[in-house]
Structures are given as C-alpha cells and as structure tokens.
Amino acid sequence: MIAIMTNIAKEKERLLADLTTSYDKNLNKQVLYITFIYTLLSISWNLIFRWFDLPFSRANLSILFLILIVWCMVYFSNRIPSISSKFKTYIFAFFSVYIIISLYFGSGYSESWSYFLLIPVVISLYGKKSLLLISSTIGFISLTIVSFFFPVGMYYETDAIDLSNRLLLYVIVATFSYLLLIKLNMLYDKQVNTVIHAMELKLEQVVQSFIIAMEAKDAYTFGHSERVSQYAVAIAQQLPQYQEKTKLKNIRLSGLLHDIGKIHISDEILTKPEQLTEKEFEVVKSHTTIGAQMVEKVEGLEGLKCGVLYHHERWDGKGYPKGSQGLEIPLEARILAVADAFDAMTSTRAYRRGLSFNEAYSQVMNNLGTQFDPHLREAIESAKEAWLKIHVENHNKLDDLEKLTDFL
C-alpha cells in the first residue's frame, strides 16, 4: 500500500489546483479592471474630441459602447458562484479575443492589427496550454481574415508582404508566449514543491520524534526501527511495485514506525530479561493495533496503518493481530515482516545472543511459505548483498556504542 505518498501526491495536486484557481481569479479581476479603464478612457476622449470638434478621433463609438455592454455581462457572470472557475477562465479568454477584434474595427487606428499580438501574450498568463493553442489559433485566423478583407484606413491596402510579415510576427509572439506559459507553470510547480517539501520534512520530524520516544524506553531496540526500514527498502527495490521513489519513501516510513505502539507498553515488560508470560505476550502483541491507531490519527501518516497493523501476520495465518494469511496481508506488511524478523534474529538481547548474518538469512529463507511470503524469495536473494552491507555498518555502530557504554 502506498497511501501516504498517494496522499502527498494528491495534496500536491490540490495545492496546485488551489494556487491556479486563486491566480485565475485574480487575473480575471485584473483583466476586467484593465479593459474597463481602457474602454472608458477611449470612449471619454473620443467624446471630448467630437464635442470640441477636434480632428483627433476616428473611433467607432458604437463598437466601443458595445464592448462596454459585453464587459458588464462578463463582470456579472464572474460573480455567479454556480459557474466553475475553469469555465470563467474560458469566458475571460474569449472575452479578451473579442475585445481585440472589436478594437481593430472600432479604434480607428491605422496600425490596429498590432492589437492581435496581445492575444497569445494575455492568454499565456493563464498557464493553460490548450487554452493558449485555441486562442492563438483563433487570433491567427482572425488576423489573416481582417488583414485581407477588412483593411483599416481609407488609403491603405494590405499586400502579400505586409500580411506575411504580420503573421510571422504573430507566430513569433505566440512562440514567446508559449515560453512564458512554460515558465509560469515551472513557478507554480516550484512553489507547490516547496510546500510539499516542508510537509514531508515535518512528517520526517514527527516520525523521528516517535522513534526517539520509543527507543528511549528500551535500550535493546536501539536503531532497530532504522535497520528494519533499511532492510525493507532493500527488498522493495527489487519489486516492480516499488520502482517509484515515492513508494520507497512509504515503505521506509512504515519500517521506521512499525513498532511505534510499544510506547504504550510498560518498561517492565519491554525490558524483562526472562521469557514473557502468556499474559505479558498478549500485552506486547497489542502494540500492532495501538501503533495503527496512533499513525491513523496523525495527518499525513494515515497510509502507514496497514504496515504497522499487519507486520506480525504470517503467511500461514498463525500471526497476529487478526490471523490474516497469504495475499490477505498487505504487501508492505509482508515485506516488513521479513525485515523485522531478520533484524530481531541478528540483534543480541539480554536473554540470548544474536545470530550471525548467514544464520539469520538461512532462517528467513527456510521460513518462506510458512512465516513469510514465498513470492519474496527472488527479491530477498537479490537484496542479500545490500542486507549484508546494512548489517555490517549498523552492527559496527552497535559494537562501538557497547564499548563506549562499558567504558562509561
């Protein structure tokens, strides 16, 4: 199960969607304000020029007033909550295209064809490739049609050279607009990844806090959770289900927290040098359900529940807490069961000496099909070299710690 990393991936998608929605809303407002101010100014100064009979106006006021009416319709549609943010974005995009085409006919400016260059620039700010492609195509076709059939100016006629240069310039601007869109999306991802990284770091800190609290109760479990997570990752790396980095992170965190429920078990039982009584063993067994309840309540760690709950189940159904068997046991729990048992066998406790690497490895292989999942045989064999490296490195650290403790 990869629920925790799936949750993080979903959280990333949610954050990106929220960021995009918020950005689109602000951009829509800005488009409204800019178009309103520009249209109002255009109408105002053209009215002033005509009132004073000044030769500075060629604008078609009817078209400018029509733009203002359409602006009002778009403004009120933007305030309707039932219209989705995505649909509003398309409304504003095509509203921008409409304004450009209207200004071509209504401004009276002899070079008004240059307004079309704004279409890909403005639409690229929304950061949506499909919207940019559609709008830019509409703009390209519209520029071609109006340049050929509706040239602006009484004494001006567009020839093939003018048209080709206009279209070439439009394509160049559209290309740079696409690069702007890519850059904008990169900034989105960077901002979201920063937030996600902070979330993952916080989860790591929570996990480490749990581990410190747990291992402080029992000196014999020093480093146990870390080693189990390393052994489990070494197995998972050999499986096709765990080829993604996020899935390996999940199995690592599961290994680190698999025994977290032992925090609620008394020190007398955890550190007892003799064999546990049946009643005491039942208390120890409860650490799986307690641990599952703990991680389930921590936001971001809910996906670790299965690994924590089922890591003491056996392939033959003789494990605990539920007696699940075979493929009923989640894959991460089957992996953790092998890693946990191997580290337990190689760890020295007060009542027994730990097995050597080869002895413990043989025990694991012999118990495939009874205690452990037989389908993991090839993965365990492939991970043997990595296991040996982990074993040597960690047991050298333990030897150094024991020497330091003896010295003190």
Q: Give the mean pLDDT of 234-241.
A: 95
Tell me what pLDDT residue 348 has. 75
Question: 199 in a domain, yes or no?
Answer: no
Tell me what pLDDT residue 336 has. 97
Which has more pLDDT, 172 or 14?
172
How far, in Å, CA of 98 to CA of 163, rounded?
A: 21
Q: Give the mean pLDDT of 360-384.
A: 96
The number of residues making up the chain comes to 408
Report in angstroms the alpha-carbon separations of 129 from 31, 178, 180, 367: 19, 8, 11, 55
Q: Check whether residue 257 and residue 155 sit in a common domain.
A: no
Q: Check whether residue 73 and residue 127 sit in a common domain.
A: yes
Tell me the pLDDT of the chain averaged across its residues: 85
Q: Check whether residue 240 and residue 110 sit in a common domain.
A: no
Specify the number of domains making up the chain: 2
User: Which alpha helices (DSSP H) does 107-159 contain, by range?
Assistant: 118-124, 129-149
- pLDDT band (50, 70, 90) for residue 141: very high
Percent of the residues in the chain that have a pLDDT greater than 70, as a whole number = 89
Tell me what pLDDT residue 403 has. 40
Question: 30 in a domain, yes or no?
Answer: yes
How far, in Å, CA of 300 to CA of 204, rounded?
A: 10
Question: Taking 60 as the threshold, does the pLDDT of residue 232 lie above it?
Answer: yes
Q: Check whether residue 59 and residue 170 sit in a common domain.
A: yes
- pLDDT band (50, 70, 90) for residue 184: confident
Tell me what pLDDT residue 407 has. 35
Q: Check whether residue 138 and residue 265 sit in a common domain.
A: no
Final residue of a domain: which of 175, 192, 209? 192
Tell me what pLDDT residue 365 has. 96
Residues 6+ apart with CB under 8 A from 312: 285, 288, 319, 320, 321, 337, 340
Question: 285 in a domain, yes or no?
Answer: yes
- For the chain, the distance separating the N- and C-terminal CA atoms, rounded to the nearest angstrom, is 44
Q: Check whether residue 81 and residue 223 sit in a common domain.
A: no
Write the CATH number for 370.
Answer: 1.10.3210.10
Q: Contact, 11 vs 303, CB < 8 A?
A: no
Q: Give the mean pLDDT of 106-134.
A: 89
- pLDDT band (50, 70, 90) for residue 375: very high
How far, in Å, CA of 134 to CA of 24, rounded?
A: 18
Find the range with the poorest average confidence among 184-193, 285-294, 398-407. Answer: 398-407
H/E stretch holding 327 reads none
Q: Contact, 216 vs 239, CB < 8 A?
A: no
Find the range with the poorest average confidence among 198-212, 263-277, 391-405. Answer: 391-405
Question: 204 in a domain, yes or no?
Answer: no
Print the domain residue range for 318: 217-407
Question: Taking 90 as the threshold, does the pLDDT of residue 139 lie above it?
Answer: yes
Tell me what pLDDT residue 6 has. 52
